[in-house]
């Protein structure tokens, strides 16, 4: 016998039998203590953040700012990334961007941004939901076209 053959023995334990007399250790109050909500029959565990009747922390902290419920979150793609990964493609569409791994989903809106590093020389036809002003100028200066998708 060596250390690799040692097995931990686990006893089959059933549920604790409560309320079976004082000698069992879980008689009388059945492990619930005396008085209060935890002792009552239909006790419901308090919610996360419950502080024993004090004002919950989430209600105590001030609300900050404004979060618009229907805001659009754009997937951002830089022109430098397009030049590096899609140099051989002339039509840049959400499908092509997803294949190249520049965006996660072709369904979510996309915004093309300009990047100050290097010169953009590709003559491309680019389709996206939005373009920055500088990105549009750079694409058109290189001889390409831009088209905004209406989604």
User: Please, what's the b/e burial string for 18-45 (b: 16 or more CB within 10 A of its CB; e: otherwise)?
Assistant: eeeeeeeebeeeeebeeeeeeeeeeeee
- Quick: pLDDT tens for 22-58: 898 899 998 888 887 778 877 777 778 888 889 998 8
22: closest CA among 30, 34, 14?
30
Selected from 3.90.1280.10, 3.100.10.10, 3.40.50.2000, 1.10.1740.10, the CATH number assigned to the domain covering 75-148 reads 3.100.10.10
DSSP-assigned letter for residue 122: -
pLDDT at 73: 94
DSSP-assigned letter for residue 54: B
Cα 143 to Cα 86, 94, 116, 119: the distances in Å are 16, 20, 18, 13
Rounded to 5°, the CA angle 29-31-33 comes to: 65
Q: How far apart are CA 57 and CA 49, in angstroms?
A: 7
CB-based contact 146:131 (threshold 8 Å): yes
**Domain boundary assignment for the chain:** 75-148
pLDDT at 55: 92
pLDDT at 116: 62
- Quick: pLDDT tens for 64-116: 899 899 999 999 999 999 998 998 988 999 999 999 999 999 999 999 999 86
Structure tokens that stand for 106 in this block: 């072709």
Q: How far apart are CA 131 and CA 77, in angstroms?
A: 10
Structure tokens that stand for 130 in this block: 């939005």
- Kindly tell me if the per-residue pLDDT of 121 is higher than 90: no
Position with higher pLDDT, 125 vs 151: 125
């Amino acid at each position: 016998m060596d250390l690799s053959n040692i097995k931990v023995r686990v006893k089959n334990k059933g549920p604790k039998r409560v309320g079976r007399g004082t000698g069992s250790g879980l008689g009388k109050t059945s492990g619930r203590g005396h008085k209060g909500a935890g002792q009552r029959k239909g006790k419901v565990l308090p919610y996360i953040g419950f502080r024993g009747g004090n004002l919950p922390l989430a209600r105590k902290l001030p609300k900050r700012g404004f979060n618009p419920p229907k805001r659009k979150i754009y997937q951002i793609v830089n022109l430098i990334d397009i030049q590096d990964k899609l140099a051989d493609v002339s039509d840049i569409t959400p499908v092509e961007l997803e294949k190249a791994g520049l965006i996660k989903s072709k369904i979510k809106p996309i915004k093309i941004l300009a990047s100050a590093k290097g010169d953009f020389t590709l003559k491309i036809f680019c389709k996206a939901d939005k373009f920055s002003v500088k990105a549009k100028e750079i694409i058109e200066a290189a001889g390409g076209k831009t088209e905004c998708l209406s989604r």
